[in-house]
Amino acid sequence: MSGKKRASPGTDTEKNPLEGVELSDEDAQKLQDIQRQIERTELLLERRGHQALLPVHEKRRAIVKTIPKFWPIALMNHPLISFQAQHSIDRVALSYLEDLWVTRDPKEPRCFTIELYFKSNPYFTDSVLKKEYKYVLPAAAAVEKPDEDGLTPSMLDFSWSRDVQPSATKINWKDPENALTKMHPRVEEEDEEESDMPAEAGSFFNFFEIASDPFDIGTTLANEVFADATDYFLGNVPSDELDSDEEESEDEDDDAEEIDLEKPRSKKQKKE
């Protein structure tokens, strides 16, 4: 029996209908213009959103101050922060945390200052540890005039790596020889060309004493933990995040239980 063999679907005999689509210069410009408007609107909404949330966050601040270990628990229920505070002595030090606050730059809300407030503890004398992510105006901004909403072209071309300068804060350790950042220093990668990430993160408190933030702890604290603090405290985060975090820190469960940072996990619920 003979006959002509059919071409299989997807063979070269069938022309891809998505190939050969051309974009005119006029249409390309229209797309760029509308994208610019979208980015401008999103930036305005973000700024107004932070302004509207400020009084609500202040109310929450007053409430959580009456709840023991609210912020240490919220921090440890975030997988990145929990991993960065993997040394048990870091977790003990963080158990003295009483308050966490984020202040946004009024002109550039994507930049902020993080403040961690501690009660008296055996490790350092500071009552507040602060890290600022300062907005550094690009050179082009010197001749720009803000529009009616206070926005400039440079703000729409915002680049975190170019326009933000993180600060470092010296911690006043009670026993400098046993400072947590000395016991567990950040170890840089020997071959920086292969990776710009440290070989070892070391103590969580390196986040304050070293300006660079390669693990994005600052943006995680400001945009995730602070924004959704109640959910993190109650464990109302995707279960896979908490489960993976629990697996990674199985060998430190005893230490975590000792300082009682895991207790509210019994209330864990999956967000609808």
| pLDDT of 4 over the 60 cut | no
Tens digits of residue pLDDT in 90-101: 999 999 999 999
User: Is residue 242 pLDDT above 50, yes or no?
Assistant: no
Q: How far apart, in whole angstroms, are the C-alpha atoms of residue 182 and residue 138?
A: 36
Q: Where is average pLDDT lowest: 24-33, 89-98, 187-196, 237-246?
A: 237-246
Q: Tell me, what's the pLDDT at 18?
A: 78
Over residues 66-89, the pLDDT tens digits come to 999 999 999 999 999 999 999 999
Q: What is the pLDDT of residues 135-157, one digit of tens each?
A: 998 887 878 888 888 888 888 88
pTM of the predicted protein model: 0.78
Q: Which two tokens stand for residue 37?
A: 């408007």
Give the angle 36-40-43 at the CA atoms, nearest 5°: 140
Nearest to 40 by CA among 153, 141, 183: 153
Q: Which amino acid is at 118?
A: F
Could you please report the per-residue DSSP string of 65-88? TTSTTHHHHHHHTSHHHHHHT-SH
pLDDT value for 147: 86
Cβ neighbour number for residue 127 with a 10 Å cutoff = 12
Lowest-pLDDT range of 17-31, 104-118, 239-253? 239-253
Average pLDDT value for residue range 44-54: 93
* Better pLDDT: 160 or 5: 160
Q: H/E element holding 243?
A: helix 239-248
Q: At 264, is the secondary structure helix, strand, or coil?
A: helix
Q: Lowest mean pLDDT: which of 29-33, 160-164, 170-174, 249-253?
A: 249-253
pLDDT at 11 over 70: no
> What DSSP string runs through 98-162?
EEEEEEE-SS-TT-EEEEEEE-S-SSBS-SEEEEEEEE---GGGGG----TTS--HHHHT--HHH
